Amino acid sequence: MGKPTGFLEYDRKNSRAEAPLKRIRHFQEFHTPLSEEQQKEQGARCMECGVPFCQSGMVLNGMVSGCPLNNLVPEWNDLVYSGNWAQAYNRLKKTNSFPEFTSRVCPAPCEAACTCGLNGDPVTIKENEYAIIEKAYETGKAGPRPPKLRTDKRIAVVGSGPAGLAAADQLNKRGHNVTVFEREDRVGGLLMYGIPNMKLEKHIIDRKIQVMKEEGISFITGADIGHNYKANRLKRDFDCIILACGASNPRDIQVPGRDAEGIYFAVDFLKATTKSLLNSGLEDGSYISARDKHVLVIGGGDTGNDCVGTAVRHGCASVTQLEMMPKLPAARTENNTWPEWPRTFKTDYGQEEAAALFGQDPRLYQTTVKEFVKDENGKVCKAVLVSLTSQRDPETGRMAMIPVEGSEKEITADLVLIAAGFLGAQTYAADAFGVELSEETNRTTDSRGYGTNIENIFVAGDMRRGQSLVVWAIREGREAAKQADTWLMGYTNLA
């Protein structure tokens, strides 16, 4: 422990965010990193406690506490404080394949479990991670490291999201010959088209993909296995296959008027914006525009917030975001004690921007849509909302959100974005390989963990566990790689 009294001497200091009304004029990341000296002070705040919950990745009361990757957080916090950036990078990369991604988009369950947060502010673990990886790129430490020896094994990874990339990265390090197949025109999966530029600029992905290419991994885009690319071709040409196709079936809302024009899934809205932004700076007009529209976002999670932030940047006339659940308390309650994930009220970047622009938080709690209203041309023009209350279902005994009779109200809405989560993987890729799926279209895990009903086909990420965090996808990819490597070689030395 480099600074035993650091947590007493230094206050938590975050990177400075650009003012909301200024940053909505562009689609770039908008935080200014701390100086090196300031970052060292933040590293000094780590207590290196005897039981580092920050790296535990435990499930407490149904919620994850600490890092699912079991990152060696106290070690590299101390190395940041001492200025040993090279060793900090080595320790960070031991468990995390892509700190350049997680340091930008992870909700940081590590910080929620930080011991400093028990009676104060937690350590800036996420920003320390950001400083380490960016310093590694600046100094050339994060450059390509191709394996010195190659095996004769050929592995196909289907899907280039964080799970597929993590599996490919690990198996390539082992010396296997890895090819990644991606159905879109760019590599990255949800990192590329599911997360807006404001959170993750796409040159950050391209930077890492270039390193992976120089390390020997091959990437084939436009290869939609089960549609324009034969699964049998992969079965013939590769020794084993890892499916990491994501959970891309969006959950729909079935209410009267759902067939109206102007109602889209959030994933289609975000993808179209990012693709147009990358192709032409939005000049080609080939995206779903929110300009001058009254936007209704259905869903209160991260994707819903991303829709709010994107709609504001388009120049929407207004934005309303619906959240079925009640507003969370400002502080932990007695039944939500540390180190559990804090179920407390938070305002994310998009909501902050909408509030700054329109004068109020866009969220309506305990509210859902009862009906969409069409105009004479069949386009959505209004939405009928209804309030919800929590009641116990007499049949199941579970609490459920029930519409409140007589609470209906009508709002103007000529662009509706459904951000209600995902139901599981699209089935056609799995069907093409003969892989059995559960009723929820997630892969049914067998006794072999990441295996499938076919001996040499493995599965990882959201396709296996359902919709989850980037950090979980990376963990899944690494674990699937270990299992595939063991099947290929009879043992594995992958971490």
Select from 420, 451, 479 the last residue of a domain: 420
Same domain? 174 vs 295? no
Q: Does a structural domain hold residue 132?
A: yes
SS3 of the chain: the string is CCCCCHHHHCCCCCCEECCHHHHCCCCCCCEECCCHHHHHHHHHCCCCCCCCHHHCCEEECCEEECCCCCCCHHHHHHHHHHCCHHHHHHHHHCCCCCHHHHHHHCCCHHHHCCHHHHCCCCCCHHHHHHHHHHHHHHHCCCCCCCCCCCCCCEEEEECCCHHHHHHHHHHHHCCCEEEEEECCCCCCCHHHHCCCCCCCCHHHHHHHHHHHHHCCCEEEECCCECCCECHHHHHHHCCEEEECCCCCEECCCCCCCCCCECEEEHHHHHHHHHHHHHHHCCCCCCCCCCCCCEEEEECCCHHHHHHHHHHHHHCCCEEEEEECCCCCCCCCCCCCCCCCCCCCCCCCHHHHHHHHHHCCCCEEECEEEEEEEECCCCEEEEEEEEEEEEEECCCCCCEEEEECCCCCEEEECCEEEECCCEEECCCHHHHHHCCCECCCCCECCCCCCCECCCCCEEECCHHHHCCCCHHHHHHHHHHHHHHHHHHHHCCCCCC
pLDDT recorded at residue 73? 96
Q: Model confidence over 267-289: pLDDT tens digits?
A: 999 999 999 999 999 999 999 99
pLDDT recorded at residue 437? 86
Q: Which range of residues forms the domain containing residue 187?
A: 154-248+434-489
Same domain? 263 vs 365? yes
pLDDT recorded at residue 446? 56
Percentage of the chain exceeding pLDDT 70? 98
Q: Model confidence over 124-137: pLDDT tens digits?
A: 999 999 999 999 99
CATH number at residue 312: 3.50.50.60
Same domain? 232 vs 217? yes
Same domain? 187 vs 268? no
CATH number at residue 83: 1.10.1060.10
pLDDT recorded at residue 494? 95
Residue 445 has pLDDT above 60, yes or no: no
Q: Model confidence over 307-359: pLDDT tens digits?
A: 999 999 999 999 999 999 999 999 999 999 999 999 999 999 999 999 999 99
Same domain? 222 vs 346? no
Same domain? 285 vs 222? no
Same domain? 269 vs 386? yes
Q: Does a structural domain hold residue 39?
A: yes
Q: Does a structural domain hold residue 427?
A: no
Same domain? 326 vs 450? no
Select from 139, 166, 198 the last residue of a domain: 139
Same domain? 15 vs 77? yes
Q: Does a structural domain hold residue 212?
A: yes
Same domain? 257 vs 209? no
Q: Model confidence over 20-46: pLDDT tens digits?
A: 999 999 999 999 999 999 999 999 999
Residue 425 has pLDDT above 90, yes or no: no
- Total tally of structural domains belonging to the chain: 3
Mean pLDDT of the region 440-446: 60
Question: If you average pLDDT over every residue of the chain, what do you get?
Answer: 95
Q: Does a structural domain hold residue 54?
A: yes
Same domain? 459 vs 477? yes
Select from 366, 386, 420 the last residue of a domain: 420
Same domain? 192 vs 239? yes
pLDDT recorded at residue 424? 85
Where does the pLDDT of residue 398 fall: very low under 50, low under 70, confident under 90, or very high at 90 and above? Answer: confident
Is the whole-model pTM more than 0.85?
A: yes
Where does the pLDDT of residue 165 fall: very low under 50, low under 70, confident under 90, or very high at 90 and above? Answer: very high
Q: Does a structural domain hold residue 148?
A: no
Q: Does a structural domain hold residue 429?
A: no
pLDDT recorded at residue 439? 73
Q: Does a structural domain hold residue 147?
A: no
Residue 479 has pLDDT above 90, yes or no: yes
